[in-house]
Structure 1
Amino acid sequence: MLIEHAEAPPENDTVTRRHVDNLVEMESNFHATQTLSARPEQPLRLMHRVKANKGLKLDAAGNVHAPSMKQAFKFLTVHRKTFFCHYLGFSFYAMTLFCMLSWTPAFYMRKFGLAPSDTGYMLGIVVLLANTSGVFCGGWLIDWLAKKGYSDAPIRAGVIGAIGMAVPAIAFTKVSELWMSVALLAPAMFFASFPMPASTAAMQILPPNQMRAQISALFLLISNLIGLGLGTTLVALLTDRLFKNPAMVGSSISLLNAFAVALTLLLLIKGCRHFRESLKHEGLA
């Protein structure tokens, strides 16, 4: 891009020249080159060259290729085993998180007689500390595994998180003391947040650059339908239809979490192998 001014700033206009110099030294995705003539009557030219985007597939004319949804589904079909394990594995992982976020307040109010305000304050602190740190630690674990040479680092981090979540997510509704329940809920929430960075990282590594948004959108659709839709609804159905007692909501939470964790581990453990094979197929290993 070429920017021309009719006249260059006068020699004694130090403020204008300093402003021009600052523009030239921009540290974004541009390189700026300034050519300033010794004769003030000649124009000042600023040339900005945009850095080439890396990892973009180009067509024969050199333009960025925008794949259709049909091509995205074709890519998913080629790696169907990988994405089947990824989509469903992390969706059942999310089911545990949404189940606890949605029904833990009702559990504490029904079993321990807490007021809604007390439950809100207590769970707010747990979510603020445990879930937030879980997201950061999940991302750190992915980086650490990648540095150790694990090409399946995002999926492997999900497996580790699911293992850490299994016992506390099932047991926090089975203890008789409130403090013990909260002490178990905190690590359950911590490890339940691991799929946020893990699932996202996996989708940014394998698909081509231009397909990542489409593939991510499909994952979010499936994850919300299974995790948020079923994760909240099934607890109510189990409580009303199976146990037929509102006070048994804790048992419904534990039963659903046990089911979801088992499926998560089964799918993600298998997904590690399929993810490595897909990376080799795409020449990314």
Structure 2
Amino acid sequence: MEKNKNFEQYPSNRRAWYAVVVLTIAYIVSFLDRQLLALVVEDVKADLVLTDTQVSLLLGFAFALFYTTMGIPIGRLADKKSRKTIIGIGITCWCIMTAACGLAKNYTQIFLARVGVGVGEATLSPSALSMISDYFPVEKRGGAMGFFNMGVSVGSGIALIVGGLIVDYVKDSPTLVLPFIGEIFAWQALFLYVGIPGLLVAALMTTVKEPSRKGKMQITSEDGKSTDEISIPQTIKFLWKRNRAYGWLFLSMACSVLIGYAFLSWLPTMYIRTYQISIGTVALWQGVAFLVGGPFGATASGWLGDILFKKWDKTAHLKLFAYSMIVMTLAAALVPLMPSYKLATLMFIPQIIMAAGQTALAPVAIINITPNQIRGQVIAIYFFVISMAGYTLGPTSVALLTDYVFQDESLIRYSISIVALIVGMVGVFAGFKCIPHYRKYIAKVQTGNFTEST
């Protein structure tokens, strides 16, 4: 039999929220580092002589290659070892590799640097979400995870606004010549200016206390011996028995992330090509949209999910996720078709609110049906699925339509709209399909134990 001893003492609110704030800062820095490249697409293309498809691989596949594959073993490590230490090492790695993008001389070098950024950032989400679940009881996790996940939009917004200002500054600055490196392109200075200061966040992680692990599942063998150690085969068995609950949710979120990274990768370029505006204007408008819509969507959805969870329905987080997918799909399909960049940005805000909400709601829903010993691994698998879809298919699907269907880079707006509409409809279907299967398992968890024959 398997039992989950669920009723345990949690840290004080002060300690818990301090940790969440530090983890959120780390998440903001991670998205700031990973999104810089989208600001300088046209410069990178010109200086390194690349196609849209090659750039899309830098934006997506190069980052996702190890971000996803390394996430699963790192997730298992996070289930057993100090999660704050794992995160600190990861921050150091991705900041150094972001700076390395600023030293790349050709396509291969910048590709490998982007791979390194992905390796470092693979440490953060599985470890951080596992820690947050041990800082807060189930009825308070939505608000905490919503706060953490606003790092996605805040990091993206800062990347656009601050990154855009730096781009404007360095393009008019004298050529930068580094010792032993030589002359670097103006856009490369952006990666150096942002990557190196991020190392301060790694130092800040040392002030966070590792929480004790809660909600462990006890496994009793046929001879009556109990253990809380869960092997890889037992983890696979646990997930397989719940494949419809996890699978449909993973698929729906993968669709949301695919649309999100299609936009993060190509929307600045679409604004420039369609509306003939400068990168500074693009960065300001889109950055403000992220900073307005993202924090509101992530935090409001998390707290609303917690309220509805306690007073209405234990599937509340998942239902909010599914309904937000409808609004997000409609808004995303319309954004690129707007006649002006101001109207496009206005339409972009509800898309950001819904998408940010989903980044908070999906992990809460997953963790609430997952025992402590495998939360890092399950979250890592979740990020593997959504990131492989988002980072690889998101940027590249838009680029392939532009390069090979429309064969006109000025028509990129239609590529983005088509991808958003088709993928979004799949996501809506998967989200609602998940609800009845999820309901069965969340009800079991709320009794305070997992009970299954082994």
* TM-score (normalizing by structure 1): 0.77
Whole-Å Cα distance in 1 between the matches of residues 328 and 302 of structure 2? 16
Does the 8 Å contact 1:56/1:64 carry over to 2?
A: no
Aligned residue runs from structure 1 range 79-94, under 5 A: 79-94=242-257
Between Structure 1 and Structure 2, the one with more helix by share is 2
Does the 8 Å contact 1:82/1:271 carry over to 2?
A: yes
**Counterpart in 2 of 1:277?**
440
The counterpart of 1:55, out of the listed 215, 221, 226, is: 215
Q: What's the CA shift for 1:167?
A: 1.9
**Counterpart in 2 of 1:208?**
371
Aligned residue runs from structure 1 range 238-277, under 5 A: 238-277=401-440
**Counterpart in 1 of 2:304?**
141
Paired amino acid for 1:188: Q
**Counterpart in 2 of 1:35?**
none
Q: Which runs of 5+ in 1 are unaligned?
A: 1-26, 30-50
Q: What's the CA shift for 1:53?
A: 6.1
The counterpart of 1:160, out of the listed 301, 308, 323, is: 323
Whole-Å Cα distance in 1 between the matches of residues 384 and 212 of structure 2? 32
Q: Percent of aligned pairs with the same residue?
A: 23
Structure 1 residues 113 and 74: CA distance shift in structure 2, 3 A: same
3-state secondary structure, aligned to 2:339: coil
**Counterpart in 1 of 2:333?**
170
Q: What's the CA shift for 1:122?
A: 1.5
Does the 8 Å contact 2:319/2:432 carry over to 1?
A: yes
Whole-Å Cα distance in 2 between the matches of residues 281 and 55 of structure 1? 13
Whole-Å Cα distance in 2 between the matches of residues 182 and 165 of structure 1? 14
Structure showing greater Rg? 1
Aligned residue runs from structure 1 range 12-51, under 5 A: none
3-state secondary structure, aligned to 1:173: helix
Structure 1 residues 113 and 95: CA distance shift in structure 2, 3 A: same
Q: Does 1:69 align with 2:232?
A: yes
3-state secondary structure, aligned to 2:425: helix
3-state secondary structure, aligned to 2:393: helix
Paired amino acid for 2:434: G
**Counterpart in 1 of 2:389?**
226
Q: What's the CA shift for 1:128?
A: 1.4
Paired amino acid for 1:57: M
The counterpart of 2:288, out of the listed 122, 125, 133, is: 125
Measured against aligned partners, the alpha-carbon deviations of 1:60-116 in whole angstroms (never above 9, x if no partner) come to 799861212221111111011111101111111111211111111011100100111
Whole-Å Cα distance in 2 between the matches of residues 141 and 227 of structure 1? 26
Paired amino acid for 1:132: P
**Counterpart in 1 of 2:202?**
none
Alignment RMSD: 2.5
Paired amino acid for 1:126: A
Q: What's the CA shift for 1:165?
A: 1.3
Does the 8 Å contact 1:86/1:268 carry over to 2?
A: yes
Does the 8 Å contact 2:252/2:428 carry over to 1?
A: yes
3-state secondary structure, aligned to 2:217: coil
Paired amino acid for 1:225: M
Structure 1 residues 162 and 284: CA distance shift in structure 2, 3 A: farther
Q: What's the CA shift for 1:278?
A: 2.5
Q: What's the CA shift for 1:225?
A: 0.3
3-state secondary structure, aligned to 1:194: helix
Q: What's the CA shift for 1:133?
A: 1.5
Structure 1 residues 135 and 283: CA distance shift in structure 2, 3 A: closer
3-state secondary structure, aligned to 2:336: coil
Aligned length in residues: 238
Q: Does 1:115 align with 2:275?
A: no
Paired amino acid for 2:367: Q
**Counterpart in 2 of 1:22?**
none
Q: Which runs of 5+ in 2 are unaligned?
A: 1-13, 17-210, 449-454
Q: What's the CA shift for 1:263?
A: 0.9
Q: What's the CA shift for 1:178?
A: 2.3
Measured against aligned partners, the alpha-carbon deviations of 1:174-233 in whole angstroms (never above 9, x if no partner) come to 121222111101111111112211111012111112111111111111111001221111
Whole-Å Cα distance in 2 between the matches of residues 133 and 64 of structure 1? 42
